[in-house]
Amino acid sequence: MKSFVFLILALTISGALSAQAVLNDIRFVPPTFFVGDSVELRITFSYKGPLAVAPPDSIPESDWVDIRDVSLIQDDETVTVVIAFTPFAPGTRTLPPMKLGALQLRDIKVATHSILENSHEGVRSLRGQLLLPGTRLAVALILSLAAMAPFLGYGLFRFSWKWIKKSRQLYRVGRPVRRLRRVMKKLKAGIGSIQASLWYYELTEALRAYLSDRLNHDCRSATTAEIALMPEFLIDNTPQKDLLEVLKEGDMVKFAGRFADDRSLNKILEMVNAAVGNWERADAQL
């Protein structure tokens, strides 16, 4: 786009001075500028004799332009007025007058271009709302998630329900062994302070409760001989068989008066702990 800048400069020099100034050059930097651009106007004069010039006492103001600075570059023969400004209105407008000592500037015309010039003819029809980048994708994702929400909710519900059932089942399965181990911990602390027959009574009662929960048989009211006839206790070298031997040893101490010292009681607890651990690990691997 070509730009045309029209400038009419009226130069007045105080009559009290004999110097005569001659306009040499007028230049806009950049030569073509638009609304909001930073522009410099350079006006160069040549003169002979003394010329008293100085920057203005205050920078003039206007509603269409922001004049940021007015400075002078002067030597023995020339003076350049540098006006830095930013225009905010398109079209040809006049800068406010400036008094630079003996030099006065007025009627300076400035033509400012607009990026909207010649971009369209007449009034354009209304355009739709502009969307931010990525808005369509975000809306599509939201609609997709909304459509899939019932299926996702149902799947999440089923997964949660299965997890809860499995957790409850694991808790129920693990509850008998936890009860037994609490009793064993108590009995270990009581070795040496509890009578052996009473010590065995608590251990065998806890073992019968554990076996009842694990085998779904009534081992609480059954005698040791009746428990020994159950199918689970007919196989040798199994944890069940080891626990049956503990029940038999308990009967001998409780009812036959067999002697049991602290060492034998500790050995019985180690035997029960090993048998229960092997049983629980075997079931966990199934």
Read off the pLDDT of residues 139-166 as tens digits, 9 standing for 90 and up. 888 888 888 888 888 778 787 777 766 6
pLDDT at residue 121, as a whole number: 53
Amino acid at 239: P
Stronger pLDDT, 117 or 216, i.e. the higher one: 216
Q: How confident is the model at residue 2 (pLDDT cuts 50, 70, 90)?
A: very low
H-helix or E-strand containing 140? Answer: helix 135-190
Amino acid at 238: T
State the Cα–Cα distance between residues 53 and 33, nearest whole angstrom.
29
State the Cα–Cα distance between residues 207 and 136, nearest whole angstrom.
67
pLDDT at residue 23, as a whole number: 82
State the Cα–Cα distance between residues 276 and 173, nearest whole angstrom.
13
Contact residues for 137 (Cβ-Cβ < 8 A; gap 6+): none
Q: In terms of pTM, does the model score above 0.85?
A: no
Strand partners, 86: 66
pLDDT in tens, 170-220: 545 457 889 999 999 999 999 989 999 999 999 999 999 999 988 888 998
Amino acid at 30: P
